[in-house]
Amino acid sequence: MDPSDRGGHREEIAATGHLARLWRPVGESRSIGVWRADDEHDLHEKVLGTLSLRPWMTLTATALESHPNDPGGTGATP
């Protein structure tokens, strides 16, 4: 089980399209995720703010846009 998802909330968020990808760097307990939201406010309030471990998490949000040379991309914003 992913420690950032103790309540099984990850599947619900993924089903809504907010959680695109989630990784854990080898040997570390932190996670790196690609999340989708209308804007940063919605990301924090409606998505990340609903995580059960949110009070103990340190978050950094970086807006992303598609790269034209992304081999898996569609050219749309992630």
A 10 A CB-CB count for 21 gives 10
Band of pLDDT at residue 78, cut at 50, 70 and 90: low
* pLDDT tens sequence across 11-52: 777 778 888 888 999 999 888 988 889 898 999 898 888 888
Contact 35, 43 (CB under 8 A): yes
* Apex 8 CA angle, 6 and 9, nearest 5: 100
Determine contact, residues 35/20, Cβ cutoff 8 Å. yes
CA dist 75 and 67 (Å) reads: 7
Residue 3 has a pLDDT of 46
> Which pLDDT score, from 0 to 100, does residue 1 have?
38
pTM of structure: 0.66
77 confidence band (pLDDT: 50, 70, 90): low
Distance CA 55, CA 48 (A): 10
